[in-house]
Chain A
Amino acid sequence: MQLEEIKKLATLARIDMSEEEMTEIAHDFDSILAYVGQVQEVAGKITAEPIHTLTNVMRSDTVTNTPGEYTEKIIAEMPDTENGYLKVKKVL
């Protein structure tokens, strides 16, 4: 795999990485993709229909905790706050 492709993936995934590491990843990907590529050989021989076992697990939209029960704890984990609000960079 080309280094340029890895750079594009790092941008898509929002991860800052050194060029050295991306070169190493490009090399690893070749062996990993060669290994997982086995699934393509066998997939053509599979005739079974896909299994659909999903069921709806949505609950009704009601409040299940006491108001403010987690507020303090969650705010305490925020890197930057102002008057009980999470402070973020300007988006627009």
Chain B
Amino acid sequence: MIDLKNLTIESAHESLKRGDFTVTDLVNTYLEIIKEKNSDINAYVEVYDDALMQAKRAEEMFASGTATLMTGIPVALKDNMLNVGHIASASSKMLEKYHATYDAGVVSQLKKEGAVFLGRTNMDEFAMGSSTETSPFGITKNPLDTSRVPGGSSGGAVASVAMNGALVSLGSDTGGSIRQPASFTGLVGLKPTYGTVSRSGIIAMASSLDQVGPIGKTVRDVEILFNTINEYDPKDSTSVPKDERHFVGTKVSSGPRASSPDHSETFVPTPLRKRIGIPREFLSGEGIDAEVMKNFNENCQKLKDAGYELVDISLPLIKYSLAVYYILQPAEVSSNMARYDGIRYGLHEDADKLFDVYAKSRGKGFGKEVRRRILLGTYILSHGYYDAYYTTAVKVRDAIKAELAEAFESVDSIITPTVPFLPFKFGEKSKDPVAMYMSDLFCVPANIAGTPAISIPSGKNENGLPFGLHIMAPLFGEETLFAIGKDFEKRV
């Protein structure tokens, strides 16, 4: 029996190369776990029927010596990622029967490496939610405590890894949807810099904020998966060409770069400045659990022990990020969701008049939270309110970006807890939208500014509920996050 709990991409790769087990053995072991646990956890909406065929193709790559680190690695996809021929539904009735007509950029990059897709995972409908309770295909349970939510919207993607039903997974993060669930399930989750990872073939939610990123048990696994999908894609108009990715900050590593077989680059490291900022007044706001702050203070000590200098910084505007987010995001949602009209694809409800075809198809296809956000966005963008909300939010967003860029001139990174509270019980926050939105308080600034951020597990409370440390870095500063993350991970 393969020890999935302690398996990493590198250890799996070594075993596959040595022949300790085959890709088929590995995939079968995961499929067994899924069979055993998924009926309770509901991480997967669908397990692909071609996983073993993909495994055979990966085995051929090992046989012919073309295997890379990702070859044969079992990966779970979020249900908003197109995998040609398979259903991609964004966990919505609207797209319940929609078959992808092409591969998402990240899917085709991973196919080229011979990664094995096990299936598509449950999510809040169209990624709108923070608990995976808005999926019409049932709730996903937190594998660490099944009476609690796994977080969201990438709840299925984290649950698949946390229940050992996938080695790594891909999620999408518009306002914390990778990092908050990673924190809730004791995993590492990265939201890369806006423009680093292709969004071609990802079902859009709020396009100025959406980003795809990796989820795994260790920082190194997340780094390997990120290096594989960290590619310029001309099919995504917001993808940034590699030569235009300017990192402004202290270089973690510099010197000659050479491409290695796993597509990560080899660096000659120079030391980090090792100075981390703490936005002190942001951490003294309402609604932050004392238990979470106690863990955060312990995390600070661990970083000091690892040789980091911690300094308090002032970011007076950062607390407005969540309010900015809940203006821009529904505005963009209302516009992105306009494409689902019941005419060309997706759910279609017949009616006598064209208007009723639209209204009935959308009324039936969209769930409650999606309908609420479309209406909110319609209001925000309507004549008479546009300037008061949308234009104002864009102005504040720019000021937050500038404030963070200035802060990164004096520190390498900024840390906070990932979530202000611990994983909550089902139904606990679904009646009060603002209480639910608060779970993304610390995650949202990175989406607003487009900067990369990572959540790293930082221990558990006496009831086994996990805490997370959230680290932000300047644009294109993923290496900084991995370096600090690895230093921290060793001390937890």
Chain A residues close to B by CB (< 8 Å): 5-6, 9-10, 12-17, 21, 25, 28-29, 31-32, 35-40, 42-43, 46, 48, 50-51, 57, 59, 70, 73-74, 76-80, 86, 88-91
Distance in Å: Cβ of B93 to nearest Cβ of chain A: 13
Contacts of B323 in A (CB 8 A): 35-39
Contact present for A13 and B234 (CB under 8 Å): no
For residue B371, CB closer than 8 A to chain A, the reply is yes
Contact present for A51 and B401 (CB under 8 Å): yes
Q: How many residues of B contact A (CB 8 A)?
A: 58
Assess A78 versus B344: contact at CB under 8 Å? Given A28-B433, A39-B392. yes
B305-346 to A contact mask, C-beta < 8 Å, 1/0: 000000000000100100110110000001000000111111
Q: Which of A29, A32, A79 contacts B343 (CB 8 A)?
A: A79
Q: How many cross-chain pairs have Cβ atoms below 8 Å apart between A and B?
A: 126
Assess A51 versus B362: contact at CB under 8 Å? Given A6-B375, A77-B344, A86-B343. no
- Stretch from B112-120, B264-272, B376-384 at the A interface: B376-384
Q: Would you list 23 pairs from A and B whose C-beta atoms are within 8 A, ordered by A residue?
A: A5-B379, A9-B375, A10-B375, A12-B382, A13-B362, A13-B374, A13-B378, A14-B359, A16-B359, A16-B363, A25-B375, A28-B433, A32-B326, A37-B323, A39-B393, A42-B396, A48-B399, A57-B238, A70-B101, A73-B99, A73-B102, A79-B342, A88-B343
- Stretch from B47-55, B157-165, B348-356, B482-490 at the A interface: B348-356
Contacts of A10 in B (CB 8 A): 375
Q: How far is the CA of A86 from the CA of B344 in the complex (A)?
A: 7
Distance in Å: Cβ of B175 to nearest Cβ of chain A: 13
Contacts of B392 in A (CB 8 A): 39-40, 43
Contact present for A9 and B101 (CB under 8 Å): no
Q: How far is the CA of A13 from the CA of B364 in the complex (A)?
A: 14
Q: For residue A86, which residue of chain B has the nearest CB?
A: B344
Q: Which of A6, A48, A59 contacts B398 (CB 8 A)?
A: A48
Contacts of B437 in A (CB 8 A): 35
Contacts of B290 in A (CB 8 A): none
Distance in Å: Cβ of B342 to nearest Cβ of chain A: 7
Assess A42 versus B101: contact at CB under 8 Å? Given A9-B379, A59-B234, A79-B342. no
Q: Which of B324, B374, B433 contacts A39 (CB 8 A)?
A: B324
Distance in Å: Cβ of B101 to nearest Cβ of chain A: 4
Q: Which of B99, B234, B398, B402 contacts A77 (CB 8 A)?
A: B99
For residue B372, CB closer than 8 A to chain A, the reply is yes
Contact present for B375 and A35 (CB under 8 Å): no
Contacts of B425 in A (CB 8 A): none
Distance in Å: Cβ of B37 to nearest Cβ of chain A: 33
For residue B368, CB closer than 8 A to chain A, the reply is yes
Chain B residues close to A by CB (< 8 Å): 84, 98-99, 101-102, 234, 237-238, 317, 320, 323-324, 326-327, 334, 341-346, 348, 353-360, 362-364, 366, 368, 371-372, 374-376, 378-379, 382, 388-389, 392-396, 398-399, 401-402, 432-434, 437
Contact present for B372 and A28 (CB under 8 Å): yes
Contact present for B345 and A77 (CB under 8 Å): yes
Contact present for B396 and A25 (CB under 8 Å): no
In the complex, which of the residues A51, A74, A89, A91 has the most CB atoms of chain B within 10 Å of its own CB atom?
A89
Inter-chain pairs besides A6-B375, A16-B356, A48-B399, 6 sampled, C-beta below 8 Å: A13-B375, A17-B371, A36-B389, A43-B396, A51-B401, A89-B353
Assess A15 versus B354: contact at CB under 8 Å? Given A46-B399, A73-B101, A79-B342. no
Contacts of B355 in A (CB 8 A): 14
Main SS of the interface on chain B? Answer: helix
Contacts of B378 in A (CB 8 A): 9, 12-13
Q: How far is the CA of A5 from the CA of B382 in the complex (A)?
A: 12
Q: How far is the CA of A79 from the CA of B388 in the complex (A)?
A: 40
Contact present for B341 and A14 (CB under 8 Å): yes
Distance in Å: Cβ of B198 to nearest Cβ of chain A: 13
Q: Which of A16, A29, A39, A90 contacts B362 (CB 8 A)?
A: A16
Distance in Å: Cβ of A64 to nearest Cβ of chain B: 9
Assess A77 versus B98: contact at CB under 8 Å? Given A16-B362, A42-B317, A46-B395. yes
Assess A31 versus B320: contact at CB under 8 Å? Given A73-B101, A88-B343. no
Assess A79 versus B375: contact at CB under 8 Å? Given A50-B398, A70-B101. no
Distance in Å: Cβ of B27 to nearest Cβ of chain A: 27
Contacts of B366 in A (CB 8 A): 15
Q: How far is the CA of A71 from the CA of B470 in the complex (A)?
A: 45
Contacts of A77 in B (CB 8 A): 98-99, 101, 344-346
Q: How far is the CA of A76 from the CA of B364 in the complex (A)?
A: 21
Assess A15 versus B343: contact at CB under 8 Å? Given A51-B398, A70-B101. no
Contact present for B357 and A89 (CB under 8 Å): yes
